[in-house]
């Protein structure tokens, strides 16, 4: 009955929230997957290029044993054969610079004569290559540092910024002895173009997959949202019909007592046996009953026309006494004696008119449970920031199975009853963050407890609570 759930449902848009969330997740996955696959693809293509270069150089240097020059650079014959082998590298357009390292890491030959004889003290790639592993990595020339001597002047030898550096180990195939390492700096134009084309295709595939996934998922959610909206509309219609039935039942239930009082007074007046001095009293009873019935109808019409029920602090003692007064005629007829706990109870958060209908329904049920008379006690206690109000009667009680079924809509133990009073009360109190519980044993009476949140007000006196004299109030 409160507006909070409706406001939450109104502000939460499933399609928009899912679209934003799925867009972020899919973009994250697509970008991460694209970056990972592009890195793997680039690394594999570069390593494949390095493997081809390694096979070429290994065969070139091992066939004529010119690779022995790397371990014996002072031998003139080995130097001649090695230079002849390296001459093949000069015919290749991609290498920008080639360096030959001995097993000790010293440059024994280079396309840049100024580097011959140099030895870097900190070259992790060379150290790894001297263990027999092929080392390939790429980068841009503007990121080269002067920490390595072979980097000096390299950027001036090419007009492109992208390069591939390969450290190719040279191993004697018979003795498996490490002879040295050949280092190649390449500007692989064709390989670079192939990598770019492959990366473009990869990113296009990731983008298309992301779009297809986003559109597909949002299409499913759009359809699900439409189905839920249709179901919600049907549920709202069903709830509106149910509320109309409950409202009609509440009107019929609460009008019985004033109609009975009017009928009794009318019968007395119509019989002619009434003392003329008592006629004003009977007329006053009729007018009072009509006024009460009119007030109930006005309250119910106001509730039915309200788009939402605004909750407010409600003084419960005055409300209980008003309900007891309205049902006094019925209780007198049935011989029911009531007792109201003394003192002023804290105010609760509720809707006054709806809470009044709930209390009337609870009291009426207690009265009907005692057709031959009995006692009814109303008490309250504060616990867990809630006011727990109990109504205890000495009626016939109900069985355990019936107790569980009483809160189901349209279940009633009374002939002609609609069975909507307790069901409406439970639903309404639950929406107010309250509760209703019923304990009973057949033949031993019933206790029904209503719990509602306490009103957070500066003082109870400000709530205009009706003070009750010391001691319990009783009526009959």
Nearest one of 191, 170, 187 to 179, comparing CA atoms: 170
Distance, CA of 131 to CA of 128 (rounded, Å) = 5
Among candidate residues 171, 201, 231, the one where a domain is terminated: 201
Q: Does some domain include residue 51?
A: yes
Do 51 and 197 share a domain, yes or no? yes
Q: Is the pLDDT of residue 433 over 50?
A: yes
Each residue's pLDDT tens digit, 228-271: 888 888 887 676 666 666 666 666 666 776 777 777 777 777 77
> Predicted confidence band at 376 (pLDDT cuts at 50, 70, 90)?
very high
Phi, psi of 336 (to 5 degrees): -95, 130
Same domain? 337 vs 197? no
Residue 123: give its domain's CATH number.
3.30.450.20
Q: Which of 140, 169, 201 is the last residue of a domain?
A: 201
| Residue 206 domain flag | no
Task: Tell whether 463 and 322 lie within a shared domain.
Answer: yes
The alpha carbon of 184 is separated from its chain's Cα centroid by a whole number of angstroms, namely 56
**Structural contact between residues 336 and 373, judged by C-beta atoms closer than 8 angstroms:** yes
pLDDT at 217 over 80: yes
* Residues 304, 243 contacting (CB under 8 angstroms): yes
Model pTM greater than 0.75? no
Residue 413 has pLDDT above 70, yes or no: no
**Domain, as residue range, for 107:** 10-201
Whether 148 is covered by a domain: the verdict is yes
CA–CA distance, 138 with 42 (Å, rounded to integer): 9
Same domain assignment for residues 464 and 321: yes
173 and 44 together in one domain: yes
Please tell me the total number of residues recorded for the chain in this structure: 476
236 within some domain? no
Edge-to-edge, what's the strand order for the sheet holding 386-393? 435-440, 446-453, 386-393, 374-383, 336-340, 473-475
Q: What is the per-residue pLDDT across 399-409, written as a single tens digit (0 to 9) for each?
A: 776 666 566 55
Can you give the CATH number for the domain in which 377 is found?
3.30.565.10
Same domain (yes/no): 471, 341: yes
Q: Are residues 332 and 463 in the same domain?
A: yes
- Residue 114: other Cβ atoms inside 10 A: 11
How do residues 86-142 score in pLDDT, each as one tens digit? 777 666 656 667 888 888 888 888 888 888 888 877 788 888 888 888 888 777 666
Residues 163 and 192: their CA atoms lie apart, in Å, by 9
Q: Are residues 194 and 67 in the same domain?
A: yes
CA 11 to chain CA centroid, nearest Å: 14
Q: Is residue 300 part of a domain?
A: no
Same-domain status, 179 and 60: yes
Is the Cβ–Cβ distance between 418 and 336 less than 8 Å?
no
**Domain presence at residue 117:** yes
4 belongs to a structural domain: no
Asked which of 158, 184, 201 is the last residue of a domain, the reply is: 201
Q: Residue 453's pLDDT is what?
A: 94
Give the chain's domain count.
Answer: 2
* Cβ–Cβ under 8 Å, residues 61 and 67: yes
> What pLDDT was estimated at residue 251?
66
**Domain membership flag for residue 215:** no
Residue 215 buriedness (CB in 10 A; 0-12 / 13-18 / 19+): exposed
């Amino acid at each position: 009955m409160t507006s909070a759930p409706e406001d939450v449902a109104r502000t939460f848009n499933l399609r928009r929230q899912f679209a934003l969330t799925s867009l972020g997740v899919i973009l994250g996955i697509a970008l991460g997957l694209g970056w990972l696959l592009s890195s793997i693809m680039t690394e594999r293509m570069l390593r494949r290029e390095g493997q081809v270069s390694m096979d070429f150089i290994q065969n070139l240097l091992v066939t004529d044993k010119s690779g022995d020059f790397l371990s014996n650079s002072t031998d003139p014959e080995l130097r001649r054969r090695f230079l002849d082998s390296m001459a093949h590298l000069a015919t290749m357009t991609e290498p920008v610079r080639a360096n030959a390292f001995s097993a000790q890491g010293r440059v024994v030959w280079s396309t840049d004569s100024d580097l011959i004889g140099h030895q870097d003290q900190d070259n992790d790639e060379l150290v790894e290559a001297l263990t027999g592993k092929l080392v390939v990595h790429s980068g841009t020339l503007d990121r080269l540092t002067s920490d390595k001597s072979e980097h000096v002047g390299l950027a001036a030898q090419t007009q492109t910024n992208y390069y591939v550096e390969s450290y190719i180990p040279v191993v004697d195939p018979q003795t498996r002895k490490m002879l040295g390492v050949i280092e190649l700096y390449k500007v692989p134009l064709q390989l670079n173009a192939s990598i770019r084309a492959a990366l473009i295709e990869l990113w296009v595939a990731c983008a298309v997959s992301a779009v297809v996934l986003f559109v597909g998922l949002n299409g499913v959610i759009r359809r699900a949202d439409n189905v839920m909206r249709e179901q919600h509309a049907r549920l709202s219609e069903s709830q509106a019909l149910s509320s109309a039935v409950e409202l009609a039942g509440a009107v019929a239930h609460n009008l019985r007592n004033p109609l009975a009082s009017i009928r009794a007074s009318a019968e007395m007046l119509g019989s002619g046996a009434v003392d003329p001095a008592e006629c004003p009293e009977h007329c006053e009873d009729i007018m009072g009953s009509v006024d009460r019935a009119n007030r109930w109808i006005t309250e119910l019409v106001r509730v039915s026309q309200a788009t939402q029920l605004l909750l407010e602090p409600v003084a419960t003692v005055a409300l209980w006494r008003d309900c007891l007064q309205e049902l006094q005629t019925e209780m007198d007829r049935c011989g029911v004696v009531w007792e109201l706990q003394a003192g002023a109870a804290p105010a609760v958060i509720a809707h006054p008119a709806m809470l009044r209908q709930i209390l009337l329904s609870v009291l009426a049920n207690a009265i009907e449970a005692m057709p031959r008379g009995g006692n009814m006690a109303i008490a309250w206690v504060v616990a867990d920031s809630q006011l727990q109000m109990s109504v205890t009667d000495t009626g016939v009680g109900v069985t355990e199975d019936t107790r569980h079924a009483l809160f189901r809509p349209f279940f009633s133990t009374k002939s002609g009853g609609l069975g909507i009073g307790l069901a409406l009360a439970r639903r309404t109190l639950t929406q107010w963050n309250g509760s209703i519980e019923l304990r009973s044993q057949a033949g031993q009476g019933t206790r029904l407890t209503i719990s509602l949140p306490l009103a957070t007000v500066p003082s109870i006196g400000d709530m205009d609570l009706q003070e009750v004299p010391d001691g319990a109030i009783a009526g009959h």
